[in-house]
């Protein structure tokens, strides 16, 4: 039987941050992960360049059953604190768009930085380690692996969500939560492309991107680009809205949010084909297919005002009902998770079970696309690390 102060299960974004923070405070930490490879999700993030945080991090950018829960951790460890860590390690970064920060040394730079911090804290690594059982024995936590049994005063669950099972995601964290009698908010794939019924699909438009459109679901809207695919819709605005979408709900898409179409057409060449006129404001391939709905494409002057009104209202309010999503295989995150009502927001400890902590994506906190999910991992990992 081995004894330690802290066991962290899951050496991803949150687990690395937590282990480093606790180790640097002098706590004896064991960091376990079933994967041989370190932090695979960081590695593949942001197309390999890791959108590690966002300049505009604020509580409103997170979904949770308790929208106030994130406030304490985000305040205790901010995006600027993480940027300072990069500075300390000589890493550089740049803003791409909408406050999204990417590491110039790619994801690997972030992984090496976190690994170095963990090593500074003298953390004991246990990569490639399958956890067979977790139990609470006389106020301590007992973690049994294939080859060892560890006892600790504190146990941190940082095993993330269900997305991308092919690189090691499991339901482990949710199972441990259930084992300890904790409630889970319903799980769903989020930040994920949406699919449509065959009759709603426009396969001939696959690959067409529409910039600067507004996608809404009930009271939530995002203005970014969308991408038409063979299976449905993707692109940043769709990924964002997918976190708010539930089966049966309809999306409304404004394809030309800044354009008064009637005004625009009034000054256009009335002898030109309508497709040629509209190609100034929308991709040509898209316009051709869209206008085919109204019959043969004619010169602008041959369209009745009723037809043009219909066109305008459909371009501003395209209603489309997704049939589902591409699921966890393609989702960036899992919505839902360990109910925050059971956790202390200052430390991430389970209220009723001193010494047990849940951090990162396994918790019912889901960030917007754009670096918000990593910031949650850093912030929640840090506050747990400071309190264990």
* Closer Cβ to ligand FAD, 78 or 170, answer by number: 170
Closest residue to ligand FAD in the complex (CB): 12
Are 94 and 53 contacting, i.e. CB atoms less than 8 angstroms apart? Answer: no
Q: Minimum distance from CB of 136 to ligand FAD (Å)?
A: 18
* Closer Cβ to ligand FAD, 158 or 349, answer by number: 158
The count of other CB atoms within 10 Å of the CB of residue 212 is: 14
Q: Where on the chain is the footprint of ligand FAD (CB under 6 A)?
A: 9-15, 32-35, 39, 41, 44-46, 50-51, 131, 158-160, 163-164, 168-170, 172, 332-333, 360-361, 371-374, 377
* Closer Cβ to ligand FAD, 27 or 34, answer by number: 34
Are 49 and 105 contacting, i.e. CB atoms less than 8 angstroms apart? Answer: no
Q: Minimum distance from CB of 236 to ligand FAD (Å)?
A: 11
Q: Minimum distance from CB of 360 to ligand FAD (Å)?
A: 2
Q: Minimum distance from CB of 168 to ligand FAD (Å)?
A: 4
* Closer Cβ to ligand FAD, 35 or 276, answer by number: 35
Q: How many CA atoms lie within 13 A of 225 on its CB side?
A: 12
- Per DSSP, the three-state class of 363 is strand
Helices (H), the chain: 13-24, 40-44, 71-76, 79-88, 106-120, 172-179, 236-242, 261-266, 274-278, 284-291, 305-316, 372-387
Q: Minimum distance from CB of 355 to ligand FAD (Å)?
A: 19
* Closer Cβ to ligand FAD, 286 or 374, answer by number: 374
Q: Minimum distance from CB of 153 to ligand FAD (Å)?
A: 20
What is the DSSP pairing of strand 2-9 with strand 29-32? Answer: parallel
* Closer Cβ to ligand FAD, 210 or 331, answer by number: 331
- Of 361, 388, 386, 362, residue with least CA distance to 376: 361
* Closer Cβ to ligand FAD, 51 or 185, answer by number: 51
Q: Minimum distance from CB of 217 to ligand FAD (Å)?
A: 21
* Closer Cβ to ligand FAD, 168 or 288, answer by number: 168
Query: What CA–CA distance (Å, rounded) separates 160 from 334?
Result: 8
* Closer Cβ to ligand FAD, 216 or 340, answer by number: 340
Q: Minimum distance from CB of 54 to ligand FAD (Å)?
A: 8
Joined together, the tokens standing for residue 345 give 């927001």
Q: Minimum distance from CB of 269 to ligand FAD (Å)?
A: 44
Sign of CA dihedral 287, 288, 293, 294: positive
Query: What CA–CA distance (Å, rounded) separates 169 from 333?
Result: 11
Angle in degrees, CA 230, 51, 129, rounded to 5: 90
> H or E segment at 124?
strand 124-126
Q: Minimum distance from CB of 48 to ligand FAD (Å)?
A: 9
86-123: string of b/e by CB count within 10 Å (b at 16+)?
beeeebebeeeeebbbbbebbbebbbebbbebbeebeb
Query: What CA–CA distance (Å, rounded) separates 46 from 4?
Result: 35
143-180: string of b/e by CB count within 10 Å (b at 16+)?
bebeeeebebbbbbbbbbbbbbeeebbbbbbbebbeeb
* Closer Cβ to ligand FAD, 33 or 117, answer by number: 33
């Amino acid at each position: 039987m081995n004894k330690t102060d802290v066991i962290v299960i899951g050496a991803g974004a949150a687990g690395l941050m937590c282990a480093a923070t606790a180790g640097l405070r002098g706590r004896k930490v064991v960091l376990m992960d079933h994967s041989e490879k370190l932090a695979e999700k960081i590695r593949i993030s942001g197309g390999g360049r890791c959108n590690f945080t966002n300049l505009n991090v604020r509580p409103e950018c997170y979904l949770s059953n308790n929208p106030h829960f994130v406030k304490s951790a985000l305040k205790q460890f901010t995006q600027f604190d993480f940027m300072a860590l990069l500075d300390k390690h000589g890493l550089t970064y740049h803003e791409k768009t909408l406050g999204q920060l990417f590491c110039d040394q790619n994801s690997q730079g972030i992984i090496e930085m976190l690994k170095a911090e963990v090593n500074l804290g003298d953390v004991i690594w246990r990569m490639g380690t399958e956890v067979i059982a977790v139990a609470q024995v006389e106020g301590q936590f007992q973690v049994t692996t294939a080859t060892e049994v560890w006892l600790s005063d504190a146990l941190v669950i940082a095993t993330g969500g269900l997305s991308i099972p092919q690189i090691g995601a499991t339901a482990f964290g949710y199972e441990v939560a259930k084992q300890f009698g904790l409630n889970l908010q319903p799980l769903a794939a989020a930040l994920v492309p949406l699919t449509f019924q065959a009759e709603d699909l426009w396969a001939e438009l696959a690959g067409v991107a529409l910039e600067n459109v507004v996608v809404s679901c009930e009271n939530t809207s995002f203005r970014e680009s969308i991408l038409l695919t063979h299976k449905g819709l993707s692109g940043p605005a769709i990924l964002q809205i997918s976190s708010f979408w539930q089966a049966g709900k309809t999306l409304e898409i404004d394809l030309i949010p800044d354009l008064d179409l009637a005004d625009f057409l009034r000054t256009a060449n009335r002898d030109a084909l309508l497709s040629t006129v509209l190609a100034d404001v929308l991709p040509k391939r898209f316009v051709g297919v869209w206008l085919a709905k109204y019959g043969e494409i004619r010169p602008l002057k041959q369209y009745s005002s009723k037809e043009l009104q219909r066109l305008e209202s459909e371009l501003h309010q395209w209603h489309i009902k997704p049939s589902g999503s591409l699921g966890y295989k393609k989702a960036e995150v899992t919505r839902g998770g360990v109910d925050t009502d059971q956790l202390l927001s200052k430390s991430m400890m389970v209220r009723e079970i001193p010494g047990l902590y849940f951090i990162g994506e396994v918790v019912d906190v889901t960030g917007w696309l754009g670096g918000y999910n990593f910031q949650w991992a850093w912030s929640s990992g840090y506050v747990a690390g400071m309190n264990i």
